[in-house]
Amino acid sequence: MRPIFSFMLLCFMIHVRSLSQTIDLTESNMPLELVLNQVKTQTGYSVLWNEMQLQGQALVSVRAKKLSLNAVLEQVLTPLGLTYRLIGKLIIVTGKTKVPPRDASAAPAKTSGFSISGIIINASGEPVVMASVHITGTGIQAVSDNNGRFTIYTKRQEQQVSLLISCNGYADKRIQVSDNQKVVVTLQDKIGLLQDVVVETGLFKKRKETYTGAAVSIGADELNRAGNRNLFLSLHNLNPSLNIIENNTWGSDPNYLPELQIRGNASIPNVNELSNEANTGMNTPLILVDGFETSVQRVIDMSQEQIVSVTILKDAAATAIYGSQGANGVIAIKTKLPGESNTPGKTKIAVKYNTVIQSPDISSYNMMRTRDKLSLERKAGMYSSSSSSQDIKLKNYYNFLMHDMTRGVETDWLALPLRNAIGKKLSMSFDHKGPLFSFITTLQLNDVQGVMKASSRKNLGGDVKINFQHGKWQLWTLTHWSSTNSRNTPYGSFNTYVKMNPYWAPFDDNGFPLRQLGNPEMAPTGFAVPANPLYDAALYAFNHAINYTFIQNLKLCYNLDSFFTCKAQVAANRGSESGSSLMPFTGTRRFTSNIFRESDYSYNSSCLLQYDAAVSIHYDNHKVKNRINAGLQVSVRQQSSHTDSVAVVRLLLPSIDSITTIVQRLQQGRQLVEESFERAAAFIATANYAYRNRYFADLSIRVDGNSQFGLHNRFAAFWSAGIGWNLHQEQFFRQFSAVNKFVLRFSYGLTGACRFQPYQSLKTYKYYNNAYYAWPGSRLITLGNDDLKWQQQKKYNAGMEMVLFGNNLQITGDVYQETTEGLISFISLPASGGFPGYIGNDGTISNKGLECTVDWQFLHNKSKNYSWRIAAGLTHNQNKIIAISPALEQAQQKMQLTPSTTPVRLYKQGYAVYTMWLVPSMGIDPATGKEWFRNNNGDPVSGWDGTYVQPAGRGEPKFRGSISSVFTYAGLSASLILRYRLGGQLYNQTLIGKVENAGLYYNVDARALQGRWEKPGDYAAFKSLLVTTPSYASSRFMFNETTVEAASLHVMYKASHTLSGKLGCNELSFSMTVDNIFYASDVHRERGINYPFSRQFTFSIAASL
């Protein structure tokens, strides 16, 4: 650690030198302008003066030997009747008395027209380069130079003209100016799609211009245009570097959490996680809200009205300061601060109300109607038998079904569990800004109604943020609470309704759901008379959960001076959840599975408690020539969780009001208790150096300690280094006038991962379920490993950023390679040891790829107030398993040999994580109508065998991305976002489940009659209807994928200030958003198996007072 402290000591020495900055200057009878330029050269300050005031001034002399800046300025300006002001790094010279000119004849004659000049600076007093200055109502423009200066002329004779000043990364500003006026324009930072000001890393602020990390920042306006479902989906629409793994099983279920990834899979599941969903969170990025860690669920429930910007951090230079927590990338969310968008002494009230309509999207389903289904059954010989008695029964049953069809029985089973759901979102905020005390209070209601009946998610929450600032002290607090009530549909799986035959009537003559479908009395032996899935929904059945969250965050900042800032922060997070489900004994499961089965009841309760604390010091030297930004932080964290679960299956009660009802039945059920406890500590050091804004470098080091790992390896060090070059700041590059910005950057670093089980390095015991002579017993089930190490990721990243043609075309690109070594895995032991193995480090996985975005504003007219912009993003990731543990490879052999209609997920050396492994198919034999396969030697075989599986395709596309278009005119704006996936493969489960293996006793896909083998010589895609042996997963059902989705359409009208004022508002806007407009793919499969997808229509009104 000695180099770190030496570097920080160097920063402090530079700071002391800057505080005692002196000027050495000796000149005699020199023009004042030349003297001020000498001051500028020695101090790095920019100087602004009025040329009319300096014209005719006497020559000046100065003698300064190690004098301060103030002393030199007083010595030079006071005798001339001039004074000055210091604003950040800017010296503004003004006149206080009128001094006669040295030679009146030298004064210039007044010319016609306007001449305005000035300097453009940012909030820190630094000059803004390449800012556009436009005289409104004309085509006259000027651009600020490298010192932020500009001069603009017009022949108009008005008393005043209006200037519009704009620059990428800053908010536009309009000012009124007079002839020959010298102005100082201060632009405020604005976070945009390609931010050029500040990168919010969550811990420290970094200047984008000299930042070597791969990061993208997205502002609130872009997020609002990208959809209204949840923040992650909006980010996914805007920037493909954040990938949401599509879940075709759960569709639009409001209670399902998405699986997030940045730059592919960095971890793979362990032996005991192969057959469950425990591995879905292993690659989830770290999520921060205002610098504090939070959960995926909280962000999904969060109102987007609170969000100012979101920054996605991807490479080592951007994530190394988070060590093992940031191995999968970081999503840093910045929310509104008290008084940030308000004027002093005012209270701003903002309200936004959304009406949300969801419509089920079942366009991918193509099920048979009654006439077609009965025709298919008849052709398949279902109503013929060699036995005359059985044949008569079959014919009678067929006639009965035909009679029902003629009297109008045509049940649309897909529509029965679905609805057009109407929900609402309400967000209110009260923002007050005072001289010392500011606060913002936010209340939100998010009522999400799912498209399956009775499914919903209702969230009610609020925030209170308080900011107290006095002198150099600042205190910031956040109190957050929320309550979420989630209900899963009692109608069961949507797939159950899909397979119901349309000739089955669901209700009796009185409109009540039948318990059994069809006619059990007339149905011949072997015919399906299934339970009615609607019957259970009519009972006292439920499946719901309630979640409570309370968060208290506190930050205390002290500004030692203009260079040093000290900060301390503490956070406490408590979450609790309780859920229960009941299926009464009167339900259909008792009828279909076990006639003696009683009610099923389950109850679970969990509690999470987390504490975080950190202290840090930040140094920022604003010198133009040598700029240093550095920080130190020490943090600690403790997290504990506790879960109780109870399951009772012998409960002879039709309904339950509380858990006390089943206490007497606990001895016939099963109780499970789980707990976890984790502690972590970290030391962080980071620094950034920039020389004249041309060359810059980043260095970050973090030492992490975590109780999850072995006793001998509790601590690990992670680091990153990056370099960059602003070519557009070079003198030789300024000849390329079309290039406004050109940045090259490279970074390398080492990070880790810690999203694993908390006790994996410890010996673990398990209690026996039964007592032995009234005494409980336990047994050792897991061996400990004191040498368990951290997974380590080596990350390379090279990137470039270009801005062309007056900030109208922006291009960014990154190439990367990330290799994870020492995967946490199961290590096998010899059988003689008595244990199969232990948890250790064995395995390597890599990801490499590229990311590219292009943003082109091809129409732009500020005077007529319209613009049109098109943006496109593309990402490619190539995943490869370099090595895995022998135990994991052996554990997959049983999965490989088990016959299944779905592809087996295997993790094999040399292949990607998402590779689909299938038995190679040679197709349907034209002579016999049977499927032939190819074994490992390439020879044809007639039977399916799991040992023949080969890689058949990648489940992830080669390229994916988005294309967006935004058009604005006055207060009206419209945007459209498309997503695409190219070059991947998809396994069509519909073809094997609803066509090839179509169980004709249930409904099937309409394609079940197409492409069938019927007689020798037929070249067919599917086997004969008369072949009853099932088909298993093979390459015959794998297809290349090209998919395009219309993700979001957004239209908004923002009322003018005049109209808003007439309606009693400061701001007023109306908007409409449509999500998931259409989905087009060359793989025709059913989407949303257990829960369908949906289209969402959102109508919003927002106002502020």
**pLDDT per residue over 73-89, tens digit each?**
877 887 777 878 777 67
Out of 3.30.70.1380, 2.60.40.3670, 3.55.50.30, 3.40.50.720, which CATH number does the structure's domain 1-100 have?
3.55.50.30
Prediction pTM value = 0.79
Phi-psi map region of 693: left, alpha, beta (phi>0 left; psi -120 to 50 alpha): left
- Residue 567 in this model has a pLDDT that exceeds 50: yes
Q: How confident is the model at residue 550 (pLDDT cuts 50, 70, 90)?
A: very high
Highest mean pLDDT among 340-344, 613-617, 990-994: 613-617
Where is average pLDDT lowest: 183-197, 865-879, 907-921?
A: 183-197
Query: Could you give the CA distance from residue 423 to residue 433 in angstroms, rounded to a whole number?
Result: 34
Cite the residue boundaries of each domain of the chain with CATH code 2.60.40.1120.
110-190
3-state secondary structure of 187: coil
**pLDDT per residue over 715-739, tens digit each?**
888 999 999 999 988 888 878 888 8
- Residue 403 in this model has a pLDDT that exceeds 80: yes
The average pLDDT across 107-112 equals 43
Query: Could you give the CA distance from residue 728 to residue 763 in angstroms, rounded to a whole number?
Result: 59
- Residue 453 in this model has a pLDDT that exceeds 90: yes
- Residue 95 in this model has a pLDDT that exceeds 80: no
Beta-carbon contacts of residue 1033 (< 8 Å; ≥ 6 apart): 900, 901, 902, 903, 904, 918, 919, 987, 992
Write down the pLDDT at residue 585: 59
Where is average pLDDT lowest: 185-189, 215-219, 689-693?
A: 185-189
The dihedrals phi and psi of 661, each to the nearest 5 degrees, come to -65, -25
Strand 456-470 to 473-487 pairing: antiparallel
Write down the pLDDT at residue 96: 53
Write down the pLDDT at residue 841: 75
331: burial class by Cβ within 10 Å (0-12, 13-18, 19+)? buried
- Residue 268 in this model has a pLDDT that exceeds 80: no
Query: Could you give the CA distance from residue 622 to residue 407 in angstroms, rounded to a whole number?
Result: 85
Decide which of 375 and 20 is more confident. Answer: 375
- Residue 397 in this model has a pLDDT that exceeds 50: yes
Highest mean pLDDT among 159-168, 278-287, 319-328, 869-878: 869-878
Report residue 272 as tokens.
Answer: 């005991």
Q: In what order do the strands lie in the sheet with 330-335?
A: 215-219, 307-313, 330-335, 286-289, 292-293
Give the count of beta carbons closer than 10 Å to the beta carbon of residue 518: 22
843 bridge partner residues:
884
Percent of the chain with pLDDT over 90: 35
Where is average pLDDT lowest: 137-141, 596-600, 890-894?
A: 596-600
The CATH class of the 198-268+279-335 domain is mainly beta
Query: Could you give the CA distance from residue 1027 to residue 380 in angstroms, rounded to a whole number?
Result: 10
**pLDDT per residue over 996-1030, tens digit each?**
888 788 899 988 888 888 888 889 888 887 777 88
Give the count of beta carbons closer than 10 Å to the beta carbon of residue 123: 12
- Residue 169 in this model has a pLDDT that exceeds 80: no
- Cα distance between the two ends of the chain: 54
Write down the pLDDT at residue 871: 95
Query: Could you give the CA distance from residue 675 to residue 698 in angstroms, rounded to a whole number?
Result: 40
Q: How confident is the model at residue 668 (pLDDT cuts 50, 70, 90)?
A: very low
Q: What is the DSSP letter of 113?
A: S
Where is average pLDDT lowest: 24-38, 51-65, 252-266, 659-673?
A: 659-673
Write down the pLDDT at residue 363: 93
- Residue 464 in this model has a pLDDT that exceeds 90: yes
Nearest one of 68, 74, 75, 80 to 27, comparing CA atoms: 75
- Residue 51 in this model has a pLDDT that exceeds 70: no
Query: Could you give the CA distance from residue 987 to residue 130 in angstroms, rounded to a whole number?
Result: 52
Out of 2.60.40.1120, 3.90.226.10, 3.40.50.300, 1.10.357.10, which CATH number does the structure's domain 110-190 have?
2.60.40.1120
Phi-psi map region of 690: left, alpha, beta (phi>0 left; psi -120 to 50 alpha): beta
Where is average pLDDT lowest: 413-417, 599-603, 979-983?
A: 599-603
Nearest one of 509, 505, 506 to 536, comparing CA atoms: 506
- Helix (H), strand (E), coil (C) string for 1050-1078: EEEEECCHHHHHHCCCCEEEEEEEEEEEE
For helices 69-77 and 32-43, give the axis angle rounded to 10 degrees.
Answer: 180
Cβ–Cβ < 8 Å for 286, 612: no
DSSP 273-315: GTTSSGGGGTTPPEEEETTEE--HHHHHHS-GGGEEEEEEE-S
Nearest one of 1, 214, 77 to 701, comparing CA atoms: 1
Q: How confident is the model at residue 759 (pLDDT cuts 50, 70, 90)?
A: low
Where is average pLDDT lowest: 627-636, 785-794, 1055-1064?
A: 785-794
- Helix (H), strand (E), coil (C) string for 417-478: CECCEEEEEEEEEEEEECCCEEEEEEEEEEEEECCECCCEEEEEEEEEEEEEEECCEEEEEE
Strand 542-559 to 564-583 pairing: antiparallel
Where is average pLDDT lowest: 302-311, 388-397, 572-581, 769-778?
A: 769-778
Average pLDDT, the chain: 82
- Residue 395 in this model has a pLDDT that exceeds 50: yes
Strand 330-335 to 286-289 pairing: parallel
**pLDDT per residue over 862-890, tens digit each?**
777 889 999 999 999 999 999 887 777 77
Strands in 862-913 per DSSP E: 866-884, 904-905
Cα 569–Cα 570–Cα 576 angle in degrees, nearest 5: 145
Diameter over CA atoms, the chain: 129
Nearest one of 100, 285, 251, 52 to 793, comparing CA atoms: 285
Decide which of 386 and 635 is more confident. Answer: 635
Write down the pLDDT at residue 773: 67
Cβ–Cβ < 8 Å for 664, 725: no
Write down the pLDDT at residue 429: 93
Write down the pLDDT at residue 967: 95
- Residue 195 in this model has a pLDDT that exceeds 50: no
Cite the residue boundaries of each domain of the chain with CATH code 2.170.130.10.
198-268+279-335
**pLDDT per residue over 484-506, tens digit each?**
999 999 998 999 999 999 999 99
DSSP 519-582: -TTTSPTT---PBPHHHHHTSS-EEEEEEEEEEEEEEEEEE-SSSEEEEEEEEEEEEEEEEEEE
Query: Could you give the CA distance from residue 145 to residue 164 in angstroms, rounded to a whole number?
Result: 17
